[in-house]
Structure 1
Amino acid sequence: MSAPASAPSGVVEDAPLDRTAIAVIVLACLGQFMVVLDVSIVNVALPAMRAELGFTETGLQWVVNAYALTFAGLMLLGGRAADLFGRKRVFLTGVSVFALASLLGGLAADPGLLIAARVLQGVGAAVLAPTTLTILTTTFSEGPRRTAAISAWNAVGAAGGAAGGILGGTLTELLSWRWTLLINVPIGLAIVVTGLRVIARDRPEGSARLDLPGAALVTAALTAIAYGTVETHEHGWGSPVALVPLVLGVLGLGVFVLVEKRTASPLVPLSLLTRRTVAGTTIIQVLSGAIFFAMWYFLSIHMQGDLGYTPMTAGLAFLPHALTLIATGRLAPLLLRRMTPRTLLIGATVVGIAGMLLQSAVLDGYVLGILVPGVLMCAGAGMAFTPLVVLATNGVQRSESGLVSGILGASRQVGGSLGLAALATVAATMATPEAGYGAVFLIGAVLMAISIVVALVVLPSRAATRRADQAAASS
C-alpha cells in the first residue's frame, strides 16, 4: 500500500488496496460487529436469563445497562488511549478483555456475577470500539475512500445490532442464553491471532497523560443518573431512592467539567466540543442512541411477551431489520455523491420518523405491526450514520482522531443507556402494556424531529463548510 509523499504515513488516498489493508479493514469491522452485537444479542435472551437466574423486572434492565453504561462512560478514555499508546496495542487489548468477560458472563451462576461480567465487557468494548473507527479514519484520507470505508464499518456495525436478535434467539432456543455471551470467545480469539499478524505497529500520536480522574468522574456520574432513572420505575420520580442518585449524577457531571478545565491533560478538551460538527453530531448521537437502544429492547419484549413469539421466532422477525440496515448503510456513500452529509442526514431522519409513528400505532399483524415500521426505522438509521461520522471526523487531526471517535461512540451509548431507563419508566406508568409500547415509539418520533432541528441549526451547511475550508487554507 503506497501513499503520496504529502500524506501522513499509513494514509491511503487513491492507491489500490493491498491484502494487508483489506485485512485491517475487515478486522476493524469485525471488532465493531462484536461490540455492537453484544448490545442487542442479549435482548432476546432476557426472558430466559430472568427465568434461570431469578432477576427482578427492574434488575433485568441492568443486564443491558451495565454493559452499555460502562461502555459509554469509558469510551472517551479508550479513544484517547488509542491516540497515546498506539492503535494496535489498544485494539488487541480491548478484544482480549472483551472475550474474557464474555467467558465469565457465559459461566455466571447468579445475577450479580452476570452483571459484573457485563461491566467488564463494557470496559473491553470501550477500549475496542473507538479504535476500530480510528484505524479507518487514520488509514484513509478525507474523500470517497474514507466514506466507503466508514460505510462498510457502519453497515457491519448496524448488522451486528440487528443480527443480535436473530443470533440471540437461535442460540437461546437451540442451546442456552449462555451462548449469547460465549460466542464472543472464539470470535475474539480469531481477531487477536489475525491482528497480531496483519496490523502494523504504529507510533503514538501524542505525549499527554490519560485523564483517569476525569474518566472515573464521568462514569460514576452517568451510572448514578441511569440508576436513579431506573429506580423511578418502582419508587417514582420524587422518591429519595431515585432523586438522590439523579442529583448526585448531575453534580458529578458538573465536577467533571471543572476538572477538565483545570487539568493539563483533559480527557475531553472542552474546546473540541465548541466545534459545530462535533457538538451537533454529539447531540444527534445522544438522541439516536436513546431511540434505537430502546427500539430493540421494546420490540423484543413486545414480540415475546405480547405476541407470544418464541426466542427463535422473535430473532427471525428481526431479519428484515438487519438486511435493511446493511443495504441502506451501503447505499449512503452513493447518496453522498449527490448531496451533502447534512441533507442526507435530515432526509434519513424523516424516513425514520415515519417508521416510529407507524410503530407507535401498535397495528395488528406482523407486516404492519413489525415489518413495515421496522424497515422504515432501520432505513433511516442505516442512511443517517455514515453522514454523521463523515461530519464528525472531517478536518480532525490524527492526534485527535481517537478522541473524536470516542466522543461519537460515547454519546450514542450514553443516550442509549439513559433513554432505555427513561422510556422503560414511561412505559411502566401507562395504563396498559400496549399503551406504554405505543408511547415509547411516539416519544422516539419526537426525539428524531428534535435531531432534525439540531442538524439545521448547529451543523454547518455546504456554504459554511466552504468558507471554513477557505479560511483554514489562507491562515
Structure 2
Amino acid sequence: MAASPASTGSRPNRAVLLTVTCLGPCMVLLDNTIVGAALPDMQHRLHTQLTGLQWIVDAYVLLVAMLLLSGGVYADRFGRKRVYLTGVAVFTTASLLCGLAPSLGWLLVGRVLQGIGAAALSPASLALLAAAYPAPQERIKAIGLWAGFSGIGLAAGPVAGGVLTAVFGWPAIFLVNLPIGVVLVVVGLRNLEESRNPSAPAIDSPGTVLSVLGVGALTYGLIESGARGWTSPVILGSFTAAVILLAAFVAVEARRSAPMLPLRLFRQRLFTVSNTAMVVVGFALMGSSFFFSQFFVYVQGSSVLRAGLQTLPVSLAMVVVSPYAGRLAARHGFRIVVTTGLALAGLGLLALGRVHADTGYGNVWWRLGVIGIGFALTMSPLTGAAVQAVSPQEGGLASGISSTTRQIGAVLGVAVLGAVVRTRQSGGATFETGLDSAFLAAGAVTSATAVLTGLWLARSKPAEGSVAPRRSTDRNALTTSNNISTKSR
C-alpha cells in the first residue's frame, strides 16, 4: 500500500487533512438524522403519503447499504483522494438537486445520488486517514476524532432539522450541505495527497448490481404493499424478483474468487450471530426513529421545531454512551454488553408503544433515552465480535460487512414498520394506534434478538488463525471495529 506523503508532512497539513476527512462523514451523518425532523413538512408541502416518506428515507439508505463495500474497493484501486472528493462532489450536487426538487420524483432522484456519493466518500475518508497516520497510536487518536465528528453530526441532526425546517422549510436541510461540500472539494484538491493500494481486490460488479436490484425489489414490495395490496400482481412480482435476484447474488458470490461478500465468513457462528443482531439494530433503530417526529407532530400536536428537540434524547444518549461501549465489552465480554443493550432498547421501544396523545413529555423522554442507551451499547461490540470471528487480515472487511448489515436492516425497518402502520390504518385503526403497533413490533423483535445473543454470542468459536476470544483481544477487535461502527446510525 502506498503511503500518503501527508503521513510525514507537517502538523498543519495533517490538521487540514484531518478536518477535511472528518467533515465529509459528519455531513453524511448529519443528513441521516436531519431528514427525520423534516418529514412532516415534506409530507405537507409535497402532498405525499406515508409511502412517499418511506421512499425519501429508503432511496438514500438502500444505495448506501448496497454500495458501501464496493466504495472501499474503488478507493483502494483508483485512489482514495479521487474517490473521496468525487463522492463529496456527487453528494453536494445531489443535495442541491434535493433542495430544488419541485416534486417527490425529483427529490427521490436526488436522494439516490446522495446515497451513491455517501457510499463513496465514507470508506474513502477513513482510508485517507489511515494512510496519513501509519503509527498505531496516532492512528487511534485520529480515528477517535473522526468518530467524534460523526457523533456531532448525529446529535446535531434533529435540532438542525427542526430549526431549518421551521424557519426556511424542508429544502434548507439539503441546501445546508452546499457550502460544506464546496469547501471540502476546494481545500481537498489543494491539500490531500493521493494514495492507493495496487494489490486491492477486483471490483465485484455482478455482485453489486444483483444486491442493489434484489434488496431494491424487496424494499419496493414492502413499501408499496400498503397502496397496492399484498396480493397485487405487482407486489407479488416484486417479491418473486427479489427472491430470484438474491438467490442469483448468493450463487455469484459463492463462485467468485474475490467476492464483495465472502459467504465462507458466515460459517463462523460468532460472525453470523453478530451480523444478524446488527440487522435487527438497524431495523429497530432506523425503523422506529422514522416515526419519532411524526409522533410528536401528528399525535401530540408539536411544532416541527419542538419535535426536533423532543427527539434529541435518543441521539444524545448514543453520543454519550457509544465511546464507553467498547471498553465495557472489552472488560465484560461481548455477550453481556450486547444482550444488555438489546434488552434495554427492546424495553424502551415496548414502553414507547404505550404512549398516547395525552402522555406528558416528562413520561416520554426517558423512554427515548433508554432506547438510545440500549442501541449505543450494541453497535461497537457487535462490530468487534464480527472482527474477532475472522482472521486478522480480514478485520477491515468484517467491519465493513457489519456496517452494511446495519444499513440493510435500516432499509427493511423503514419498509416493514411502515407496512405495519399502513396495515393497521387500512383495518380502521388511527395513525396513533398504527404507531403504537410499529413501536411494539420493533420492541418485540429487539427483545427476541437479546435472547438470541444471550444464548449464542459467547458460544462461538473464532475462525482458524483469528484472534482468540480473550478479554485483551476483545479490546483489540473493538479498537479495529471503531473504524466504521459509528457510521450511518
Q: Please tell me the TM-score bracket, short chain as reference.
A: 0.7 to 0.9
Tell me, in whole angstroms, the C-alpha distance in 2 between the residues paired with 1:67 and 1:86: 24
Tell me, in whole angstroms, the C-alpha distance in 2 between the residues paired with 1:433 and 1:445: 18
Tell me, in whole angstroms, the C-alpha distance in 1 between the residues paired with 2:191 and 2:329: 31
Residue ranges of structure 1 left out of the alignment (5+ in a row): 1-6, 11-16
> Which position in structure 2 is the counterpart of 1:305?
298
The question of whether the paired residues in 2 share the 8 Å contact of 1:358 and 1:373 is answered with yes
TM-score (norm 1): 0.86
Q: Which secondary structure does the structure 1 equivalent of 2:289 belong to?
A: helix
The question of whether the paired residues in 2 share the 8 Å contact of 1:44 and 1:168 is answered with yes
> Which position in structure 1 is the counterpart of 2:382?
388
Equivalent position to 1:440, from 427, 431, 438: 438
Please report how far the alpha carbon of residue 28 of structure 1 lies from its aligned counterpart in structure 2 after TM superposition. Answer: 4.3
Letter in 2 for 1:421: A
Q: Which secondary structure does the structure 1 equivalent of 2:290 belong to?
A: helix
Please report how far the alpha carbon of residue 167 of structure 1 lies from its aligned counterpart in structure 2 after TM superposition. Answer: 1.1
> Which position in structure 2 is the counterpart of 1:291?
284
The aligned runs of 1:199-238 (5 Å cut-off) are 199-204=192-197, 206-238=199-231
Change beyond 3 A, Cα 1:348–1:141: farther
> Which position in structure 2 is the counterpart of 1:3?
none
The aligned runs of 1:63-462 (5 Å cut-off) are 63-134=56-127, 153-154=146-147, 156-196=149-189, 199-204=192-197, 206-336=199-329, 338-363=331-356, 364-369=359-364, 371-394=365-388, 400=394, 403-430=397-424, 431-460=429-458
Tell me, in whole angstroms, the C-alpha distance in 2 between the residues paired with 1:27 and 1:343: 37
Letter in 2 for 1:451: T
Please report how far the alpha carbon of residue 163 of structure 1 lies from its aligned counterpart in structure 2 after TM superposition. Answer: 2.7
Q: Which secondary structure does the structure 2 equivalent of 1:338 belong to?
A: helix
> Which position in structure 2 is the counterpart of 1:13?
none
The question of whether the paired residues in 2 share the 8 Å contact of 1:83 and 1:401 is answered with no
The question of whether the paired residues in 1 share the 8 Å contact of 2:85 and 2:185 is answered with yes
Letter in 1 for 2:70: L
Letter in 2 for 1:440: A
Bigger CA drift: 136-145 or 204-213?
Answer: 136-145
Identity of aligned residues (%): 35
Change beyond 3 A, Cα 1:306–1:355: same
The question of whether the paired residues in 1 share the 8 Å contact of 2:389 and 2:466 is answered with no
Change beyond 3 A, Cα 1:338–1:27: farther
RMSD between aligned residues: 3.5
Deviations 1:367-414 (A, max 9, x none): 212x11111111112232222233334586787566444422221121
Deviations 1:68-117 (A, max 9, x none): 11221222221322333343332222222111111111111122111101
Q: Which secondary structure does the structure 1 equivalent of 2:302 belong to?
A: coil
Change beyond 3 A, Cα 1:410–1:390: same
> Which position in structure 2 is the counterpart of 1:14?
none
Please report how far the alpha carbon of residue 20 of structure 1 lies from its aligned counterpart in structure 2 after TM superposition. Answer: 5.6
The question of whether the paired residues in 2 share the 8 Å contact of 1:218 and 1:252 is answered with yes
Deviations 1:248-275 (A, max 9, x none): 1121100011112223442222223434
Change beyond 3 A, Cα 1:70–1:461: same
Please report how far the alpha carbon of residue 467 of structure 1 lies from its aligned counterpart in structure 2 after TM superposition. Answer: 9.3
Q: Is 1:54 paired with 2:47?
A: yes
Change beyond 3 A, Cα 1:407–1:467: closer
Please report how far the alpha carbon of residue 159 of structure 1 lies from its aligned counterpart in structure 2 after TM superposition. Answer: 4.5
Bigger CA drift: 177-186 or 391-400?
Answer: 391-400
Tell me, in whole angstroms, the C-alpha distance in 2 between the residues paired with 1:157 and 1:270: 30
Deviations 1:20-63 (A, max 9, x none): 66655554443332222222312222232233333243223211
Tell me, in whole angstroms, the C-alpha distance in 1 between the residues paired with 2:92 and 2:347: 38
Change beyond 3 A, Cα 1:331–1:148: farther
Q: Which secondary structure does the structure 2 equivalent of 1:469 belong to?
A: coil
Letter in 1 for 2:199: G
The question of whether the paired residues in 1 share the 8 Å contact of 2:417 and 2:438 is answered with yes
Residue ranges of structure 2 left out of the alignment (5+ in a row): 5-9, 474-489
Tell me, in whole angstroms, the C-alpha distance in 2 between the residues paired with 1:214 and 1:466: 26
Change beyond 3 A, Cα 1:283–1:219: same
> Which position in structure 2 is the counterpart of 1:45?
38
Tell me, in whole angstroms, the C-alpha distance in 1 between the residues paired with 2:393 and 2:101: 40
Please report how far the alpha carbon of residue 312 of structure 1 lies from its aligned counterpart in structure 2 after TM superposition. Answer: 0.8
Tell me, in whole angstroms, the C-alpha distance in 2 between the residues paired with 1:451 and 1:147: 31
Tell me, in whole angstroms, the C-alpha distance in 1 between the residues paired with 2:140 and 2:348: 26
Tell me, in whole angstroms, the C-alpha distance in 2 between the residues paired with 1:276 and 1:129: 28
How many residue pairs are counted as aligned between the two chains? 462
The question of whether the paired residues in 1 share the 8 Å contact of 2:268 and 2:460 is answered with no
Bigger CA drift: 377-386 or 146-155?
Answer: 146-155
Letter in 2 for 1:442: L
Q: Which secondary structure does the structure 2 equivalent of 1:206 belong to?
A: coil
Tell me, in whole angstroms, the C-alpha distance in 2 between the residues paired with 1:272 and 1:21: 36
> Which position in structure 2 is the counterpart of 1:36?
29
Letter in 2 for 1:368: N
